[in-house]
Amino acid sequence: MHRAVGGALAALLMAAPAAWGQASGAISGRLVDRATHAPVVGAEVFVLGQHRPVMSDSNGAFLYRLASGEYLLQVRQIGYIKAEWTVEVPEGEIVELLLQLEPIAFVLPPAVIEGRPEDLPTWFRGFEDRRASRRGQFITRAEIERQNPSSTLGDLLRPLNGLRMSCTRTGCTIRMTRWPGCQPFYYQDGLPVFATTAEGFLAMDIHGIEVYGLSDVPVEFQRPGLRCGVIAIWTRRGPPPRKR
């Protein structure tokens, strides 16, 4: 079990409600880069057996309310090796953690893609082919770089037609305006993902975005039961290579 106490986290916890129902304890943590000790922002924090992840904030901090027991905590973020810890939460206590994430050993330098279309990666050709068809709305890497690097997915999508932000005390979600409360289906690098995963992306991690209303969804993003639009996000790493 990993356990570390920090004054900044203690201040955060003082603001938490006193009564949490069945969640009589909590895991409170702060994620930092092992090499630079900078906060890791927008990381997904999973507790196995629980339904929803939480995201680390601008200070790398997160709070996960839980009943007492032993849990497996997993953290995922682009650019870092997936990490996990076993954490025991005593009855009525808050476990405070300082967790270091190991950055991936290599950094890809900025690159200008040149050459014939058939020489480009398959996923990139697909993105450009769909953009040329003028169906849907697209945000390219060049457009993203003109915005603040700390922008979120919601910030990037806010100017587009047919979308709105639905906000409550717990945060904001992206909705399609054609039907009230209609939440788009998300893809990341060609694979389906939960909205909580997609909406936590930062602009610095995104290569391109495709947004489609229900009538414009391309065949590669169709799926049974689709009743709303689709938002497809392509990260700067692109899809993982297929196993042969």
Q: Residue 20: is its pLDDT beyond 60?
A: no
46 is written with which tokens?
Answer: 């999973």
CATH 3.20.20.370 fits 117-235, yes or no: no
Q: Residue range 31-39: average pLDDT?
A: 92
Percent of the chain with pLDDT over 70: 75
Domain borders along the chain are 7-101, 117-235
pLDDT of residue 22: 56
Strand partners, 164: 175
pLDDT of residue 183: 85
Between strands 163-168 and 171-176, the pairing is antiparallel
> Has this prediction a pTM greater than 0.85?
no
pLDDT of residue 238: 67
**What is the tens place of the pLDDT at every residue in 61-112?**
999 988 889 999 999 888 888 899 999 999 989 999 999 999 886 544 454 5
Q: Residue range 138-165: average pLDDT?
A: 81
How many alpha carbons lie under 13 Å from residue 151 in its C-beta half-sphere?
17
Q: Which CATH superfamily is domain 7-101 in?
A: Carboxypeptidase-like, regulatory domain (2.60.40.1120)
